[in-house]
């Protein structure tokens, strides 16, 4: 397997497909690089070098006991970028991966960054606070931790329904899509997936977003039942100068699957502009 070793000895797995300008993908919780295969295939087929890594604790990367935090996630991504000597990279992050991309820019700057795409992403912050009164209460995330710790297999089966809005009338989400979600989720170690809940729920990205100075596209569905658009995409676009928000009507959290063709077209248009 292709891996990069980080400063604490963790091995970060990555896929590296195609040749050309670099597009790097960061996945959501509790998935792995496989969540981006449709996009990796499409971009590599259109003359791009498409790279996706498994976050530590997830997929084929090391399941470390320590280091399951947003700063380390961002540093791990920087380690991959540096090891492969990637430059002029378009970073695409979904959900927690959007937080990872945002923290990466906050900690490591944009000297190697060409552009950013935040998809159903968690910034600026998910938790309800005085600064973020529209956020979700901590009890929501406590319930997620309970589900993961008690019976994560069943929890991931149930979560897939909301992730893709398969619980909505008229949904055409297939069992195969939900099975793939469960399979990827079960490849995440219990410690890494449990710790990551705190990271996607309580991390605060206002300072990181203030450091964005590259073209930024924000894509969010208005039926996102995991990261509601009003407290995420619609706030982030006002915090990043020149950012563009594309709202997908009726789209769920996992829109890169349910709205694959539209998303891939929008992504290619943005990268080529």
Question: What residues are labeled active site?
Answer: 95, 224, 253
Closest residue by Cα to residue 12 from 72, 71, 70:
72
Give residues with Cβ within 8 angstroms of 122, minimum separation 6.
Answer: 95, 96, 98, 99, 200, 203, 205, 227, 232
Do the beta carbons of residue 41 and residue 49 sit within 8 Å? no
d(CA 266, CA 38): 14
Strand partners, 118: 93, 218
Do the beta carbons of residue 55 and residue 26 sit within 8 Å? yes
d(CA 97, CA 144): 18
């Amino acid at each position: 397997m292709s891996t990069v070793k980080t400063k604490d000895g963790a091995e970060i797995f990555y896929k590296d497909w195609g040749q050309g300008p670099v597009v790097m993908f960061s996945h959501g919780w509790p998935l792995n690089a496989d969540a981006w295969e449709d996009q990796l295939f499409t971009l590599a087929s259109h003359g791009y070098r498409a790279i996706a890594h498994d976050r530590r604790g997830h997929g084929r990367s090391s399941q470390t006991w320590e280091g399951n935090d947003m700063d380390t996630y961002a540093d791990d991504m920087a380690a991959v970028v540096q090891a492969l000597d990637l430059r002029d990279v378009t970073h695409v992050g979904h959900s927690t991966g959007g937080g990872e991309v945002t923290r990466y820019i906050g900690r490591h700057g944009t000297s190697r960054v060409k552009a950013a795409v935040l998809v159903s992403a968690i910034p600026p912050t998910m938790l309800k606070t005085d600064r973020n009164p529209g956020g979700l209460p901590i009890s929501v995330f406590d319930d997620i931790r309970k589900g993961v710790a008690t019976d994560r297999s069943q929890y991931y089966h149930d979560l897939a329904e909301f992730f893709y809005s398969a619980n909505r009338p008229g949904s055409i989400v297939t069992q195969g899509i939900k099975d793939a979600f469960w399979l990827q989720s079960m490849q995440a170690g219990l410690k890494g997936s449990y710790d990551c809940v705190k990271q996607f729920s309580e991390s605060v990205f206002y300072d990181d977003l203030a450091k964005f100075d590259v073209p930024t596209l924000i894509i969010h569905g208005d039926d996102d039942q995991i990261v509601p658009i009003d407290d995420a995409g619609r706030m982030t676009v006002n915090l990043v100068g020149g950012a563009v928000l594309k709202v997908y009507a009726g789209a769920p959290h996992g829109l890169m699957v349910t709205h694959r063709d539209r998303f891939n077209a929008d992504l290619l248009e943005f990268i080529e502009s």
